[in-house]
Amino acid sequence: MQVPTDGLPTPQRYWAVLTISLGLVMAVLDGAIANIALPTIAHDLGASPANSIWIVNAYQLAVTISLLPLASLGEIFGYRRVFLTGMVVFTIASLGCAVATSLLTLTVARVFQGFGGAGIMSVNVALLRFIYPRSWIGRGVGINAMVGSVSSALGPTVASVILSVAHWPWLFAVNVPTGALALLAGLRSLPRTTLAKHRFDLQSAALSALTFGLLITGVDGIGHGQRPVSVAIELAAAIGIGGYLVSRQMAQASPLLPVDLMRIPLFALSVATAIAAFAAQGLAYVSLPWFFEDVLGRTQVASGLLMTAWPLTVALIAPTAGRLSDRFPAGVMGGIGLALMAAGLGLLAIMPARPADIDVIWRMCLCGLGFGIFNAPNNRAMITSAPPARSGGASGMMATSRLLGQTLGAALVAMAFGFFPANGTTVTLVMGTGFATVAAAVSLLRMAERPRRA
């Protein structure tokens, strides 16, 4: 096999990939492990369950509102600088979480941790475009997807192991040495990229934060019983501010909200595919643990092991899917993968009343196989369909579409459980099947679009 000469040379490339992977592991794990420790943290800090949920929400909201502004900063000041700054902020904020003595101080630290995590996630795929040779971008994205899936799968286990031998502050303290290692490796290995000449649009950044913040809280409020008037005001404000933001961005050559990239059919269809696919995933991920524990009577550990089958299969298939995406169109791979995922979700919806573990596991593996075939090629299509100078906008939109889909899925689960308390999980799985089927159809529409040279 001929070794490409572009991209970073080895061993610099290996150190750069290690840096990206460590950053992704930290950001993904901290988005999940706080859920496991939430009751313990709330008890120790004397916080009510309703108030303690902000330990989780503060992180997610901070990530959501800052992804696109930080991606834009990456284009202007360099992806390397934004990534490393995000790593510094995340590491220091993790230390702040570890030493927090009240709900307020922990929540504030989690906000800064979310900003740091957004700095990492907003530009990590953009950096991959300059780390790997053009002909290997698919395998690089595949490895990235594998790392994210393994981190997601191991999140509850890692949290449980740490809590079994140490107090909850160590959930955050372990990030300090890991972040220091990633920072040292990144300073020596991450590539310097060409800087954009336009200025940072502060007003658009504020409008973007308001739009996505109100949209996320509004959608989340629908599912969690928030007053209809409040939800309507939040969503109306999100639509109004978002409309003004879009009109403001239309005339800009490199807009913070990447409306220019949405004019590229391959990019726009890939974003739509991602939102629908992650909504389907969110519908299953949020509802199934309740089904395993409350209906099937499985223990928390057993439920966690059943859930692990999905992301573990994704992790196993992602590198291969990434390599294949360098040779085959994302539209075809996404269509096949999402059809398999839809089949898996449909089969989960019609499981026997008292299924054996193996009956659950093979269906979860089918979902994971399909999602793994879709995810890396879709990410590759998004990043390579954008011009190199707009890699930051593409990377930020990639992360934003994932969060939007997952939030929509979680909100729909809450709604389904409210309207159908007796069989809410079945309803959510049917809805997930529908979303995955729509995503497969949208993915196949990309067959008519010719990919841009990476």
- Dist CA 75 CA 391 (whole Å): 8
pLDDT of residue 332: 93
- For residue 223, what pLDDT is reported? 63
Omega before residue 169 within 30° of 0, cis: no
Provide the 8-state DSSP code for 389: G
- The confidence score (pLDDT) of residue 307 equals 85
Q: Kindly report, residue by residue over 371-401, the tens digit of the pLDDT.
A: 999 998 999 999 889 888 888 888 889 888 9
Cβ neighbours of residue 261 closer than 8 Å, sequence gap 6 or more = 267, 268, 385, 386, 390, 393, 394, 397
pLDDT in tens, 314-358: 888 988 998 898 888 999 999 999 999 999 999 999 998 888 999
Burial (CB count within 10 angstroms: exposed 0-12, middle 13-18, buried 19+), residue 385: buried
Least confident of 118-122, 157-161, 291-295, 330-334: 157-161
CA 88 – CA 449 distance, rounded (Å): 40
- Residues 88, 65: Cα–Cα separation, whole Å: 19
Q: Are 394 and 385 in contact (CB under 8 A)?
A: yes
Left if phi > 0, otherwise alpha if psi is -120 to 50, otherwise beta: which for 133? beta
Report the Cα 172 to chain-centroid distance in Å.
20
pLDDT tens digit sequence for 235-256: 999 999 999 999 998 878 788 8
* Most confident stretch, 77-86, 158-167, 206-215, 350-359: 77-86
Residue 139 has a CB neighbour count (10 Å cut-off) of 23
Span between the terminal Cα atoms of the chain, in Å: 20
**Segment 18-38 mean pLDDT:** 83
DSSP assigned state of 225? T
Query: Which band of pLDDT confidence, cut at 50, 70 and 90, is reported for residue 23?
Result: very high
Instruction: Compute the distance between CA of residue 172 and CA of residue 162 in angstroms, rounded to an integer.
Output: 10
Higher pLDDT residue, 152 or 18?
18
Q: Is the predicted pLDDT of residue 186 greater than 80, yes or no? A: yes
pLDDT beyond 90 at 156? no
User: What average pLDDT does the structure give for the chain?
Assistant: 87
CB 223 within 8 A of CB 282: no
In this structure, what DSSP letter does residue 293 have?
Answer: I
Helices and strands of the chain, counted as H and E runs: 17, 0
Between the CA atoms of 117, 236, 279 and 24, what dihedral angle is there, to the nearest 10 degrees?
-10
Write out the two tokens for 441: 């159809």
Please check the confidence at residue 1 and state whether its pLDDT lies above 50.
Answer: no
What is the Cα Rg of the chain in Å?
21
d(CA 293, CA 286): 12
φ, ψ for residue 449 (rounded to 5)? -100, 135
Tell me: the pLDDT tens digits for 55-94? 878 888 898 899 999 999 999 999 999 999 999 999 999 9
